[in-house]
Amino acid sequence: MTASRARQVLDACLEGRELGIEDALLLDRLEGPDLEALRAAADQVRKQQVGDDVGYVVNRNINFTNVCVKSCKFCAFSRDHRSEQAYFLETEEVVRRALEARDYGATEVCLQAGLAPNVDGRHYVALCRAIKAEAPELHLHAFSPEEIKYGARLAKLSIRAFLEELRDAGLGTLPGTSAEVLDDDLRDRIAPGRITTREWIEVVTTAHELGIRTTSTMMFGHVETSEQRIRHLALLRSIQRETGGFTEFVPLSFVHEEAPMFRDALLPDLSGGPNEALVVRLYAIARLMLGKDIPNLQVSWVKSGFERAQRLLSCGANDFGGTLMNESISTSAGAAHGQLASPARMRSLIRGAGRIPYERDTLYGVLRRFSVSGEGDPELGALDRITDVEATFGSYAALAASSLHRFELKKKLRPLT
């Protein structure tokens, strides 16, 4: 009965009908040949909705501090301000990294960090102004909803007023991270004191109202239930139908190896990350549930690895994400997939999946189209020719071990203009 009903649901999706919560929960139990049918249906719906093109963006991550006043059980990146590994990049260093990224062909820099104590709330605004003053052409994709909430409180501003200041200083879009799974009972288990579901919704919908688009995400494969995952997707769909502000959905596999809640056995029912079947089901169901409203479904090569990321292009995904150049958060949790995916490698992986690569900007505008065969590709650029990523861009381990940018609380008390 389950298999027969699942086939009816998939046929309805292929005909363009909406996938509801109960039917999605049914699909989230599929295994074996039925799972393959789900994957194939999602791939077909993807083709109907967005075609065979797969995008990527040339960008750089800049995690400007690992100091955080919170201690989320899944986060291996953050450090207490007293830690010998605590760092804080000065504004000049953040700008230097942004300019270096631009010189390597980046069109976007992504700024995200811990919540450092005693930093003036307008430091976030100052960072935007400083980067845009030196590189006005760079798109600033910056600050999670958690950082927006924190910065607004420190600056003694409403969420709306703080976002308006950031927008006027050059902020382009927000990462829709700090979502994990939007269920407060679950959030209290894995990250007590974390931004609530209501607050997360307030930040992203206010951003959308102000013309600041955001991504949307889910971290999965830890202690969440199937119903919590599916209701998270339904909530994102509801928000998108109200605001139209999400650019993409990015499922983020839980990286468990160094996460405190795995390392210290804090939760007895914790999974060691999602298995292959769960990843396939989530991507496929995300395409079927969200594709009409959020057409871009992005793989995370840094979470999944290149081979799995390539396979997910046949499960409903149509975007390969960013080059990154630096990657600290997943790496610190135990991900071993590196911190740079060069444009040439991205194109090769996309073509290996039988798809057509294109370079895009943050808002999915097409910058360069490429052939499926590779004929007419440009010569390898500087980013493609890098052989030692850590020697070129540094690494989280080296940054945390160095005294060059050591966090000192007394230096962070001064207001920044």
What's the pLDDT tens digit per position in 233-251? 999 999 999 999 999 999 9
Q: Are strands 246-253 and 319-322 parallel, antiparallel or unpaired?
A: unpaired
For residue 43, what are its two tokens? 């791939």
Instruction: Identify which of 139, 54, 107, 48 has the alpha carbon closest to the alpha carbon of residue 320.
Output: 54
- pLDDT level of residue 328 (50, 70, 90 thresholds): confident
Is residue 35 included in any domain, yes or no?
A: no
Q: Is residue 205 scored above 90 in pLDDT?
A: yes
pTM, 2 dp: 0.95
Neighbouring residues of 306: CB distance < 8 A, sequence distance ≥ 6: 337, 341, 345, 349
Is residue 170 included in any domain, yes or no?
A: yes
Instruction: Identify which of 66, 53, 97, 19 has the alpha carbon closest to the alpha carbon of residue 393.
Output: 97
Which whole-number Å values give the CA distances from 248 to 163, 170, 293, 344, in the listed order? 20, 21, 10, 23
Q: Is residue 210 scored above 50 in pLDDT?
A: yes
What per-residue confidence (pLDDT) applies to 76?
A: 85
DSSP reduced 3-state for 223: coil
Q: What are phi and psi of 346, to 5 degrees?
A: -55, -50
- Look over the chain and give the mean of its residue pLDDT values, rounded to a whole number: 93
Instruction: Identify which of 334, 179, 194 has the alpha carbon closest to the alpha carbon of residue 249.
Output: 179
DSSP reduced 3-state for 94: helix
Q: Supply the range of the domain harboring residue 138.
A: 53-412
Q: How many other CB atoms are there within 10 angstroms of residue 369's CB atom?
A: 12
Q: Are strands 139-142 and 108-111 parallel, antiparallel or unpaired?
A: parallel
Is residue 13 included in any domain, yes or no?
A: no
What per-residue confidence (pLDDT) applies to 247?
A: 98
What per-residue confidence (pLDDT) applies to 2?
A: 72
Q: What are phi and psi of 253, to 5 degrees?
A: -65, 135
Cβ 387 vs Cβ 344: under 8 Å:
no
Task: Indicate if the alpha-carbon torsion angle 374, 378, 383, 388 is positive or negative.
Answer: positive
Is residue 31 included in any domain, yes or no?
A: no
Share of the chain above pLDDT 70, in %: 96
What per-residue confidence (pLDDT) applies to 3?
A: 76
For residue 329, what are its two tokens? 């958060």
Neighbouring residues of 78: CB distance < 8 A, sequence distance ≥ 6: 66, 67, 68, 70, 71, 72, 114
Q: Is residue 416 scored above 50 in pLDDT?
A: no
Average pLDDT for 329-346:
79
Is residue 17 included in any domain, yes or no?
A: no
Please count the structural domains in the chain.
Answer: 1
* 40-44, 162-166, 220-224, 391-395: range with lowest mean pLDDT: 391-395
Instruction: Identify which of 247, 227, 250 has the alpha carbon closest to the alpha carbon of residue 312.
Output: 250
Q: Is residue 99 scored above 80 in pLDDT?
A: yes
What per-residue confidence (pLDDT) applies to 334?
A: 63
What per-residue confidence (pLDDT) applies to 415?
A: 45
Which domain CATH number covers 198? 3.20.20.70
- pLDDT level of residue 417 (50, 70, 90 thresholds): very low
* 20-24, 82-86, 94-98, 100-104: range with lowest mean pLDDT: 82-86
Which H, E and C letters describe 342-378, residue by residue? CHHHHHHHHHHCCCEEEEECCCCCEEEECCCCCCCCC
Q: Is residue 204 scored above 60 in pLDDT?
A: yes
Share of the chain above pLDDT 90, in %: 82
Is residue 48 included in any domain, yes or no?
A: no
Instruction: Identify which of 36, 177, 84 has the alpha carbon closest to the alpha carbon of residue 400.
Output: 84
Instruction: Identify which of 273, 297, 293, 294 has the alpha carbon closest to the alpha carbon of residue 283.
Output: 297
DSSP 273-289: S--HHHHHHHHHHHHHH
Question: What are the pLDDT digits (tens) for 1-16?
Answer: 477 899 999 999 999 9
Is residue 70 included in any domain, yes or no?
A: yes
Beta-bridge mates of residue 111? 62, 142
Q: Within a 13 Å sphere around the CA of 170, how many CA atoms are in the beta-carbon half?
A: 21
- pLDDT level of residue 338 (50, 70, 90 thresholds): confident
Question: What are the pLDDT digits (tens) for 120-164?
Answer: 889 999 999 999 999 999 999 999 999 999 999 999 999 999 999
What per-residue confidence (pLDDT) applies to 258?
A: 83
Question: What are the pLDDT digits (tens) for 259-314?
Answer: 889 988 899 999 889 999 999 999 999 999 999 999 999 999 999 999 999 999 99
Is residue 7 included in any domain, yes or no?
A: no
